[in-house]
């Protein structure tokens, strides 16, 4: 059992996750009935805790071609804008422009029609504002 747990822990550590998010592992019934201080399995329907602060993660993959994912966290409902800019400061795309509920969110950007280069993405949610860089490499 400890070998299995060690392998699962090593696998979980190698997976990129959003800060505050969790990994769901399905453990077959009967593997262990010992109490554990680590809860690595969730029952279907369990809810995950809401984020405690606003956060914008680095896009993934980065560099990308042509689609990338941008994850962000909202601890409360907020009017959200997620926009993409070129290095001249010109807005080239708006991914989100609406009120969203609290939780962990993901937006996709398909940059098929854009040139290779460095782009900025900016999240505005309430008073929170953060900008990060990403690289489109065709």
Q: Are residues 21 and 41 in the same domain?
A: yes
The 3-state DSSP class for residue 111 equals coil
Q: Are residues 60 and 44 in the same domain?
A: no
Confidence category of residue 21, pLDDT binned at 50, 70, 90? low
Structural domain that includes position 10? 1-49
For residue 41, the model assigns a pLDDT of 42
29 has pLDDT over 70:
no
Yes or no: say if 132 and 59 are a contact pair by the CB < 8 Å rule: yes
For residue 87, the model assigns a pLDDT of 97
The number of folded domains in the chain is 2
Q: Are residues 3 and 29 in the same domain?
A: yes
Q: Are residues 62 and 111 in the same domain?
A: yes
Q: Are residues 19 and 67 in the same domain?
A: no
39 has pLDDT over 50:
no
Q: Are residues 84 and 112 in the same domain?
A: yes
Q: Are residues 117 and 59 in the same domain?
A: yes
Mind listing the pLDDT tens digit for each residue in 54-78?
Answer: 999 999 999 999 999 999 999 999 9
């Amino acid at each position: 059992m400890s070998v299995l747990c060690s392998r699962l822990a090593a696998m979980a550590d190698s997976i990129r996750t959003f800060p505050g998010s969790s990994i769901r592992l399905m453990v077959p019934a009967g593997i262990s009935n010992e109490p554990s201080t680590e809860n690595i399995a969730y029952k279907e329907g369990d809810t995950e805790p809401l984020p405690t602060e606003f956060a914008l993660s680095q896009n993934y993959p980065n560099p990308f071609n042509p689609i990338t994912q941008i994850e962000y966290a909202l601890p409360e409902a907020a009017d959200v804008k997620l926009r993409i800019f070129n290095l001249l400061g010109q807005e080239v795309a708006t991914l989100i422009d609406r009120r969203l509920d609290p939780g962990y969110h993901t937006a996709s950007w398909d940059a098929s029609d854009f040139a290779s280069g460095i782009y900025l993405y900016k999240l505005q949610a309430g008073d929170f504002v953060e900008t990060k860089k990403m690289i489109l490499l065709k």
